[in-house]
Structures are given as C-alpha cells and as structure tokens.
Structure 1
Amino acid sequence: MKCFLFSPISCEISVLSTSQDFFFFFFCHENMESNRTWITEVVLLGFQVDPALELFLFGFFLLFYSFTLVGNGIILGLICLDSRLHTPMYVFLSHLAIVDMSYASSTVPKMLANLVMHKKVISFAPCILQTFLYLAFAITECLILVVMCCDRYVAICHPLQYTLIMNWRVCTVLASTCWIFSFLLALVHITLILRLPFCGPQKIDHFFCQIMSVFKLACADTGLNQAVLFAGSVLVLVGPLCLVLVSYLRILAAILRIQSGEGRRKAFSTCSSHLCVVGLFFGSAIVMYMVPRSSHSQEQRKILSLFYSLFNPMLNPLIYSLRNAEVKGALKRVLWKQRSM
C-alpha cells in the first residue's frame, strides 16, 4: 500500500495492488487534532474457536465456496453455450450467477485465510473496500431478483406481449440499471463512513468487515450512518419484496387459469425456483439489517451473515438446476455433445 498526503486536508490515496488486480481507493480526513491516532489495520476476530475446529471449518467452508463457484459457473456456462437459453429469463439468471460468485468472493477468501493464520488482520483500506463490494453485490442481487420476478410476471400474465415488452434493449437497460444503482448506493454508504474519524478500537467481532461492525470502529456519532443504512434497507428490501409478493399473487392467479396441465406444471416449475431464491435472500437480509440488534447475539449475526454470503449463493444454482427442466435439458445436451466428440 502506498499513501500520498496532500494539503490542506491530508487526502490519502490508497492503492491496493495484487499481481492481477489494482484497486484504487480514495479517502480524505481532516487533521484537526495532531495527537489523534488513526488505525491502519483491523483485527477480524472471526468465530473464536479451537485451532483444531478452525481447520475443520476451513475445509468445510472451502468446500462450500468451491460448490458456489462451480455451480454458478456451470449455470453461466450453460446459458452461454446453449442458444435455447438465450432468452431474457436466462440472461438475468446469468447476471445472478455472476453476482453470486462475486458476492461470495468478496468475503470468503479472507475468511478462509484467517482460519489458518495466527495473525487475523486486514489493512484499513482493504477492509473498507470489502465493505463496499459486499454492499454493492448484495444490492445488485436484490435488484436482479426483482427484475427476474417482473420478467416472469410479463411472461405468464401477458404472454402475447412478452417479446414486445421484454425485448433485448429493455433487458440491457434493466440489467445495467441494477448494477449502476447498486454501486452508487454502496458508494453513498462508504462516503458517509469515510467522513468518520477512526481511532479505535481495532477489533471487529466478525469474519469480515460488515458495515455495522465497521461503525463500531469510529470514535464519533454514527447515527446518520445508521439512519441512512436503515433507509437504504427499506428502499432495496421492503419495497422490492412487496412488489415481488404482489406480482406472484397475480402470477399464481394467472397460472390457476391455465387450462393445460403441462403448461401449468412448467409455469409452476420456473416460478417456484425463483420464489425459493427470493425467500432465502430477502428473509435472511431483512433479519440481518432490519430486525433490532438486541434480538440477536453477535454469534447469531455471524451465522446469518455466513448464510447470506456463502450458503445462499451456493444454493441458488442447485435450486435452478434441480427445479428447472430447461436448465437440466441444456446440461444433458452439453454432456451428450462432449461424449459424441
């Protein structure tokens, strides 16, 4: 990490570099007090278990993380390779797979490293970067799930107008909006965080730099940050969830009016898969960010975060592959093509 100081406000430009990626992260603070100590690294306490159990957890979480990458990678590969899946529904599903892999990768690798290392620290700038990426990918997944719900609503409730409404231009605009809005909203949270003075404590009782844990590092009032976080949670969780529920009530009514048993079964299959993913994601997110903190111990919140950032992304491809006939058919065609070559 390299830091350059500029006057009059001591603006630090932190450059986090690896052999493959370069992250440029900017933050500023005012040196109003010369004796103020600014933290440079943070200790992630993690799960605080016996060393032998830490090795077991390392193998267990590594297996789940591998399943997450492989499962979502297979879904993404099938959609790219099979022309029959080049439809709006599966385009959005491919975005969901990308988000899930990125989402898990923003926190799990550092967690795995800390499980096998004695010094469980992370520099301050990468910690804030981790918070930013986690928020951005979480919001993106929420919005992609809502867009997928809208796609299913149009397909089932307005089938004759589906190709007109959900054309490629609309799909591109919707997907791009999800990504851009998510990163901008995450940037708002990070900008508010970086206005705070961070002079200790240096310990986070979590396995990653979760935003509410980062608030505790500040030696100033975080009331504004918490208010904005709650408002953002309402914006991206409660509102979209209400839209999803209303849409699925209308979808259910439309499915029950379908005369063909095969058509009804196919509609239930695709919608039930999406509804399972929506329930898992929104349920854990609302409990995590909107239920009062006094309702859960810190260990319970860690487990919720683990489910939210690791288990949920791993379950998504399983749900879509096991309950979706078109995905299973695409997998069989790809495997058959590989055998015949």
Structure 2
Amino acid sequence: MNDRIYIRPIGFAPGPQSEHGNAIRLGGGMVYASRFAVVLRRDGRIVERWLAAPDTIAELMGQLPDEVAADAEQQWANLTLAHPALELGERTIRLDQPQVMGILNVTPDSFSDGGEFMDKPDVQREQAARMLEAGAAIIDVGGESTRPGAKAVWEGDEIERVVPAIEMCAAMGAAVSVDTRKAAVMEAALGAGASLINDVSGLTYDPRAAEMVAKAGCPVILMHAPGNGEDLHEGGDYTNVVFDVFDELRKRRDAALEAGIEASRMLLDPGIGFGKSVADNLALINALPLFHALGHPLLLGASRKRMIGALSNEAGADQRLGGSVALALKGMDAGVQLHRVHDVPETVQARNVWRGLRDAALTDFGDLPD
C-alpha cells in the first residue's frame, strides 16, 4: 500500500486582512491562500479529501495516517517558505514578486519564431536589448528546439549557437540562463557568462549534467517531461496528471539533492506542453499553487504553446499573444515566481498592473464602523 498526501491551496484572498489574518503568504510572494484541500492518494487513487484553513490545519494534521503525517507537515511549511533572491552574476533577482524571463532562441526550427534569430548577431542583439529595456529580469538562450518531432542537436553545434549569444547578452549586463539538457553545453554556457541552467529534461538526459551543475554551484531549473530519451514528449500516460507530475518533480528534486545540488539553488517547472494534452495542461495550470508544497520557486513556460491555438481556432504561434498573457496572469495569481515568455513588453506591462492591484488590495479594508 502506497499512501501519498498533497496540500493544494484552493481558496485565495486579496490580502490577509480580508480573512482577519486567517491566510498564508504563498511561497513568500504577493498571493494569499486561505483555504486548502488535503488529498490522500493510495496506490494512485484518491481515497480521502479534507478541507482546511490556516486555523484548522493543525487539527487535521493530527488526524492523518502516520505514513503521511511528516510529509504533510513539510508541505505545509513549504507553502509558506519565502525564497531568497537569485544571485545571477552581478544581477540580483528577487523572488517575492513575479519576474519575467525573455526567450532568445538561436535555432533554425523554433516553433515560435521559425529561426528568426539564427546566425543573425545584430538581430539577436536588438532582440535582447528590447527585452532588457522592457523589463526582462533574465534572458534565456536556447540552441536546440524541443518541440514535438524536433531532432536532437549535436552538442558541438549547440555550443556554437549559444555561446556568442550568451556572451553578447552578458556584455549588456543581463542575467543569462541557458536552455539545454547537455552537460558540455552547460559548461560552455557558464564559461560564456550564463549563470542559470534551464534543463527541460530535469537533469535526466545527460548522466553528467547533475554532477556538473553541483560542481558549478549554479542555480538550476528542473522541468518535468515524460520522455527519457531524445523525444521528451513521449510516454505522457498519467493516472492523475497533477499528482503524477508533482510526484515526478519531487523525484527529480531528490535526485538532484543526492547529486550534491543545494535545495536553495533549485527551481521547478511543471513542463506545460511537454507530453501533455490540452486537458492535462489546463489541469496543471489550474493546480499551480499545489507545486509550492515542494518548497522551491516555480517557473511557468506557457508562452505561445499549442494549447493556446487549440483553444483559439488554431491560431498560429505568432497570433497567441492574448492567450500567452492570460496564462502568465493565471500563473501570477498562483504565486509563480518566474514567467518564461516570448512577448516581454506585454507580459511586463500585465505584471505591473497585476502588482498594482495586489498592492492596492492590501489597504482595501478601512476601519470598522463604531
């Protein structure tokens, strides 16, 4: 018998004062949760579901089976965990508010831009400068497409693609991450000025990757994808996609810890669009607050994904701005710290308005009448 417990925030408040203080600050950010579903799963099936609030959670914890009690206590602590800022080179990225990561693809077969920035240093520079000026906190450089059906790129070719772009972004003073699953590319990227690794395989593709990241001591983003080989999209067969992805991300986090990577240097990404149907993606996005229970900052990468087209009369990748911003705002409402996007100015503007509303909500309630 295999019992697992999950604490999922399901009710939210504009500020703690609206619940007379009976709310928690989710992930140390600007979102407050006041109601929670505590779900017991046995051998893959949900067998119990309780509802709790901050002032009743302790009583409920005391009634849980011994096998899951300690995990429940840890998840509850994780939900309120405030994460330290990311120190990326000379840049400090605060995680107590949503941050925007701009995408710079230097591939010939990107699903979103069709190779617009491939082998065009001047165009790459202009795009990077636009994203930085618009408010991107990080530039994420990728030299290998991971869209369904894309062929793996030899690491030497990938290095030739990403290193000049990383050097250029770093020279601008940008905080730079590299989107790769190969240890050799990671090493070359760090040498070129990158300071964050974004591995869509969750450090499972290259057996040397985890050791390299641990030795470098740099932060790393672990993403969920079901495929273990060249095709990261294969094998997406879920009993319950939300809890299955949660469990798999926990496994990858634990493997990274065993490899010597510090917990404070890990971020998690549920992998929207990787081996997941439209229904799977929608379920995960609705359940994003749950993933704070793993105790790490979260990244959402839903920009221009196929699910937006599927919900919008098959709109092309270059016609998915509205859906991309809608998903980013949904992630902000869930307390997600990093948002990886193609359309930086529009997302930053949406974030700024979102933050203004959040700040104003903290003073919405005045004095009670005499």
TM class by shorter chain equals: under 0.3
The structure with the largest helix share of the pair is 1
The TM-score with structure 2 as length reference comes to: 0.24
Which one has more relative contact order, counting CA pairs under 8 Å at least 6 apart?
1
- Which structure dedicates a bigger proportion of its chain to strand? 2
TM-score scaled by length of structure 1: 0.26
